[in-house]
Amino acid sequence: MKFMFALLPMSVLMLISLSMHVTVQAQAPEIEIDLTATDVISQGRTGTCWSFSTTSFLESEAFRITGELHDFSEMAAVRVIYPEKVERYVRYQGKHQFGPGGLSHDVTHAAAAYGIVPQSVYGGGQESDSYDHGALDGVLEAMAQELVKQSGRIDPAGFDAVEATLDAYLGTLPESFEYNEKVYSPVSFREAMGIDPAAYVTLSSFTHHPFDESFILEVPDNHAQGSFWNVPLDDLEEAVHHALENGFTLAWDADVSNKGFSFRDGWAIMPETAASKEEWVSLSAMPTEPTVDQSMRQLAFDSQENTDDHLMHIVGRAADASGREYFIIKNSWGQGNEYGGEQFVSMAYFRHHTIGIMVHEAGLPKELQKAMGR
């Protein structure tokens, strides 16, 4: 088929391309909720989706609170968290997760410990949309392993060397800066944006822990051993609907290493009944998805079919002509699809593949806030 297309005249190819583009756009679900967010950007060749997604989430939070949209630095949180990763790895004598990954609570922790700065103030040493941390990740891992080898005689200067390395690659974090003709510290800027790190909560839904209690989520990138409030699956989905309907976006952690997640096509659907990926580009042919219940979700997690792969930002909701609803997510893989880098995530996909969510406590249903003691 590829060779047949290659033989067609350019004018015909352009007509086919335009026709396909119009078809896809015409089949897009009708937007029900579209909350304000910054433009989609790319995390580049880094493992820092946790910072890109959650920083985007905090940008939308600042807009919700102040009415102004600002571009925050993703790399500032990375610069804060990476030394903590090295120290934790060494304290666990090398028997702990080490790598570029993380979760949403790492960003709110960084905001609490250091603050927030604009992207224009701290770019992280490289051009936005062109980040490449391959060399940095390798150097940090080697330094961490070398410190572990020095067990019994670890020199604190080794950790100073980690800081110096991060400064060389990412830049030194500013203590103060001028922005929009005002002088801020990272903390005063965070406060001016209305961000209270303690107001953000993380939720998940698994039966190997009791419901209505917090638990430490057992995924490798939870290096900080952050706690999640455990709720039944129906309540988890309802929490997202409630937040969106009341003007709150959410950070979303999910498994995307499956054929149902297609950034190129702009969809994330349960793939079991899809005959081919071509069905994703036309709602009229979209397959009927399975009903996802609590036990199905748990089995997928226990069997490690579902793993902690990628964090994104839920910014809205849409519905197709048949009434099937989708959450709209902002990815961090650039704008290279029909929807400018956003995707439509079906409810079945969300229920089956979600690892966890983060939301402002005020965005939760009142009864859930009460149960959590918020």
Decide which of 124 and 273 is more confident: 124
User: How far apart are alpha carbons 220 and 269 in whole angstroms?
Assistant: 25
Lowest model confidence (mean pLDDT) among 86-95, 227-236, 254-263 = 254-263
pLDDT, residue 28, reads 79
Confidence (pTM): 0.90
Is the distance from CB of 277 to CB of 262 less than 8 angstroms?
yes
Tokens read off for 65: 């609170």
What CA–CA distances, in Å, run from 344 to 155, 262, 269, 303? Answer: 51, 10, 8, 26
pLDDT, residue 244, reads 98
Q: What is the mean pLDDT of the chain?
A: 90
Question: What integer is the mean pLDDT of 46-57?
Answer: 98
Count Cβ atoms within 10 A of the Cβ of residue 292 and give its class: 0-12 exposed, 13-18 middle, 19 or more buried.
buried
What CA–CA distances, in Å, run from 91 to 138, 144, 152? Answer: 20, 10, 12
Asked whether residue 6 carries a pLDDT value surpassing 50, the answer given is no
Spatial CA neighbour of 55 closest among 38, 34, 67, 68: 38
Lowest model confidence (mean pLDDT) among 23-32, 113-122, 142-151 = 23-32
Decide which of 203 and 269 is more confident: 203
Count Cβ atoms within 10 A of the Cβ of residue 295 and give its class: 0-12 exposed, 13-18 middle, 19 or more buried.
exposed
Question: What integer is the mean pLDDT of 126-148?
Answer: 94
Q: H or E segment at 160?
A: helix 157-170
Residues 6 or more apart whose CB falls under 8 angstroms from that of 318 comprise 28, 29, 30, 31, 32, 33, 325, 326, 328, 344
**CATH number 3.40.190.10 given to 36-372:** no
According to DSSP, the β-strands at 227-230 and 213-216 are antiparallel
